[in-house]
Copies of this chain bind each other. A is one copy, B any other.
């Protein structure tokens, strides 16, 4: 038994010591879920460690400080979100309407709107005003998202001056998505994802009626389909 009787190539159970990156991701995931369960304020290193099945000293070995653990957690979420819409955009067709639809749909991809993640986002927003953390970590990526939306909206806006300003259109679409996220957190009977998506589709139809069909009514089936 001094030598391994069989090679343990298959990663069936996690090894006692992990690679630096893998362990960091594990701890970040534990942090996200602890924040979702306890709230950012009441998240302690010991709780995160317990959820990961590790000691709290290890967190400080990997992240040096609690503040830094939070910074890297937010950065991880921001990167995940950024990649999510960029991949969706790259996979969409060349028409701006398809691209816009893809970006909006991406915001409701299952891994993105997992309750734990939404809760963590909300918790970080709540601290955005009083601590510079949010701006430092997410400022650039938020800007990139906003500018991309505006660019697509501009491409959908006819050159004549009567239509909706693309900056306003982009902002409104972003606010509706962001707002439905917040709704899913703060309203009592967590509202269905389908309902949230229907709201976004309605917003798209309102902003660019030439490219998007009007959504049906919210609850009851539409009495007569409109051509």
- State how many copies of this chain the complex holds: 2
Q: How many angstroms from the CA of A183 to the CA of B226 in the assembled complex? A: 35
User: Once the chains are docked, how many angstroms separate the CA of A180 from the CA of B142?
Assistant: 15
State in angstroms the CA–CA spacing of A194 and B153 once bound together.
22
Q: Is A149 engaged at the interface, CB distance under 8 Å to the other chain?
A: no
Given A122-B125, A168-B217, A217-B167, A37 and B202 contact (CB-CB distance below 8 Å): no
A171 within 8 A of B: yes
- Chain B CB within 8 A of A90 CB: no
In this complex, what residue of B is CB-closest to A214? Answer: B164
Known: A41-B40, A126-B40, A129-B118. A134 touches B164 (CB 8 A): no
Restricting to A108-136, which residues have a CB under 8 Å from any CB of B?
115, 118-119, 122-131, 134-135
Contact check, B202 vs A164: say whether CB atoms are below 8 A apart: yes
Count residues on chain A whose CB falls below 8 Å from chain B CBs.
62
Quick check: A125 and B168 within 8 Å, CB to CB? no
List the B residue with the shortest CB-CB distance to A119: B129
Question: Interface readout for A179-197 with B: 1 if CB under 8 Å, 0 if not?
Answer: 1101101111000000000
Which of chain B's residues has its CB closest to A198's CB? Answer: B168
A22 at the interface (CB under 8 A from B): no
The interface residues of chain B lying within 8 Å CB-to-CB of A118 are 129
| Interface contact A39-B168, CB-CB below 8 Å | no
Can you report 18 A-B residue pairs in the complex whose CB atoms are below 8 A from each other? Answer: A39-B41, A39-B127, A39-B131, A123-B126, A123-B129, A125-B125, A125-B126, A125-B182, A125-B185, A138-B186, A139-B188, A142-B187, A165-B215, A168-B218, A175-B176, A175-B178, A178-B179, A206-B207
